[in-house]
Structure 1
Amino acid sequence: MKHIVAGLMAAALLGGCGGGGSSNPFDNPGEDDGTTAPPTDTTVPTEISQDVTRVEFDPATQTLTVEGLTFDGTTDPVTYNRAVALDVPGYQAYSIQQDGASRHSTAFAAQSQTSGAVTAGVAATGGPRNRLFTGAVFERTGSYTQPTTGEVVYTGRYVGLTNLDSQGGDLLPPPVGLAPELIPTQAASTQGDVVLRANFGDRAVEGNIINRRISETPGGVVINLPSLVLINTQITEGGTFSGTVEYDQTGFPADRVTGTSIGSSAGIFGGIDATEVAGAIKLNEFDGPGNPLGLTNESETGIFVLDR
């Protein structure tokens, strides 16, 4: 793990703010096949949704609208602009900024590839004023059936948004003479790989997020981050799950991280025989026990959309 940019990043931390979960927070037009999914509580936990109440995403037309996120526009919901330069493999990026003195907001979204049954999105503002606004949602559309036996592995990519500053390449120029305290910042994103394992006989799910990194620091230096474990938790009859997140113990042989939660996870399976899964995590820290990168009060909200 690299320890070289602690001073660079530490001053860029913002506090999180927001809250309020939502039922059916994801509206994905054109994906309803006319069938009725089994009854299930599709409410995204409030610790995950935070300040986002709804997202509309159409990957074909590359349009995304976010509702609930504070200070991302003068209306609610807000239609974001496609931001191809910010794309992370597997996820389309979007952004919005009213002018050079207004907050900048970044969003990522994806839909599963097998049948398009599940979708997830995450959004976050940057600074200023010591606080950011963020949240993530996920949704299932169409019919769903859940196996009663067997173990299935789902793989794919992860993307997250943090309360750290990025290089700011998507920011509008601030007005000439704007005080430094008023200049907007752009949230730095994270990415990684997800392996999720579901045992439908035991109705349990667990997983890992590995190869985590930030590559949008002000100095352009890639920061490698600790791997995460999505701790095993129950799969409900409706195909949902929620649990906790820990650092992977193998990355910290000298520290006891097993049993210490650093955040929350939640998700939903979709498709016939649960061919797809989408979910999200909220991290209250992410640089390791004892802050080896020199970060304090860091936070992250991210999503995953996976197929078998």
Structure 2
Amino acid sequence: MKRLWLTLAAFTVLSACSGGNPFATDTDTDTDPDEGTIPEQIAGDLSGITYNPVTQTLTVRGISLDDTPYEAVYTRKPALDRGGYEAYTVQEGSLQRHTTAYVRDIGGTRAAVVMTGGQFEHYFGGAVYGRSGVYDPPVSNQPGGLVSYAGNYVGVLNGPGDGGDLLPVTPGTPNSVRPAQAAEVTGKVLVNADFTDNVVNGVVYDRDAPDYPQLALSDLALAPADIDAETGTFDGEVTIDLTAVGQYGGIFGGTDANAVAGALFAEGHIDGVDNEEERGIFVLPQCGTPGQDALCNQPAP
């Protein structure tokens, strides 16, 4: 499948098909391999990651020019960090694909998203999430067992960003052979979970694509979905005005489920653009725990 992203200004971008066999994130802190399977649409080409938050090293498996998984060590790029998510990139040569990855970890609950900037009308990308340890649902002190999680979101698009991290090319190099750097999306997330009825829902809001200020990005609703009582995993539809535009999934981790990690895939969701796709992640602390987001400071928490 080949796609082009076209804005109203006829700005042509690179896109691609994705596939692969997703599985729970592989980490230096021993993610449980029995946590469940990440939906294929979300995982995309990404097979897994190895991430060490202490040494800030990231190894990515599955992002390549075909369906054959491979392993690559990415370089830490603090200048590209967004909202507490660490950035890593890789580009082997000036005429080779550039790839951007974002990752965040809260006490062993983590998620990562990876996207190539695109080249020759194709891109590769995907997202994974996982946790260390077993599922430990909270004993809520609120009626109904409701718990909130809030914080930042980061995503990447199948369109070119500012290119500031690209390796230099010889003057006069044709645009047709130059790689691109993926554009990012930032935002905020609120997730509400009911651990009595085992249902989760939420929203990604205040969304912004810094490289495309002319675009107005809609909120992405995370439709109500079941929480697996054994694994603490969930997946459901991403919607705009009750119309499905993609899929999201995630996992609760930590003592009393003090964090949640998740990822989403959305397409056809930005007005003024054709064939756009977005992959993003959220790793959020529970409201009432250390590091909680300012949104949690409510009169009736």
Which TM bucket (shorter chain)?
0.7 to 0.9
Tell me what 1:48 maps to. Answer: 42
- The equivalent residue for 1:179 is 174
CA distance in 1, matches of 2:273, 2:23: 34
Shift in Å, 1:223:
4.2
Structure 1, residues 222-257: CA drift from partner, whole Å, max 9, x if none? Answer: 74411110000100111010100112xxxxxxxxx3
Letter in 2 for 1:295: V
1:264 equivalent to 2:247? Answer: yes
- Residues 1:131 and 2:122 are matched in the alignment: yes
1:66 aligns with 2:65: no
**TM-score with structure 1 length normalisation?**
0.83
TM-superposition CA deviations, 1:251-295 (whole Å, max 9, x none): xxxxxx32x1000000001112211110000001231xxx3xx20
Residue matched to 1:251 = none
Please, what is the CA RMSD of the aligned residues? Answer: 2.2
Residue by residue over 1:4-28, the C-alpha shift from the partner in whole angstroms, topping out at 9 and shown as x without a partner, is x9444x423333322123333x222
Aligned AA (2:93): D
Residue 137 of structure 2 aligns with which residue?
Answer: 146
Paired with 2:145 and 2:12, the residues of 1 have a C-alpha distance of 46
Which one-letter code corresponds to 1:205 in the other structure? V
Which residue is equivalent to 2:150?
A: 155
| Partner residue, 2:279 | 301
Contact 2:118 2:124 in 1 (8 A): no
Which residue is 2:26 aligned to?
27
Q: Which runs of 5+ in 1 are unaligned?
A: 248-256
Structure 2 length-normalised TM: 0.85
Distance 1:282 1:111 in 2: 20
Unaligned runs of 5+ residues in structure 2 are 1-5, 287-301
Letter in 1 for 2:122: R
Q: How does 1:70-109 map to 2 (within 5 A)?
A: 70-71=64-65, 76-109=70-103
Q: Aligned partners of 1:52, 1:30: CA distance in 2, in Å?
A: 19
Give the whole-Å Cα distance in 1 for the aligned partners of 2:65 and 2:79: 23
Give, in whole Å, the separation in 2 of the partners of 1:276 and 1:123: 21
For the pair 1:121 / 2:109, whether they are aligned, the reply is: no
Count of paired positions: 275
Q: Is the 8 A contact 1:13 1:297 kept in 2?
A: no
Write the distance in 1 (CA, Å) between the matches of 2:247 and 2:121. Answer: 23
1:107 to partner: Cα distance: 0.4
Deviates more, 1:145-154 or 1:237-246: 145-154
What's the CA shift for 1:85?
A: 1.3
Counterpart CA distance in 1 for 2:282 and 2:247 is 14
- Partners in 1 of 2:228 and 2:246 — Cα distance? 21
**Which residue identity does 1:232 align to in structure 2?**
P
- Separation (CA, whole Å) in 2 of partners of 1:295 and 1:23: 31
| Alpha carbons 1:17, 1:134 under 8 Å: kept | no
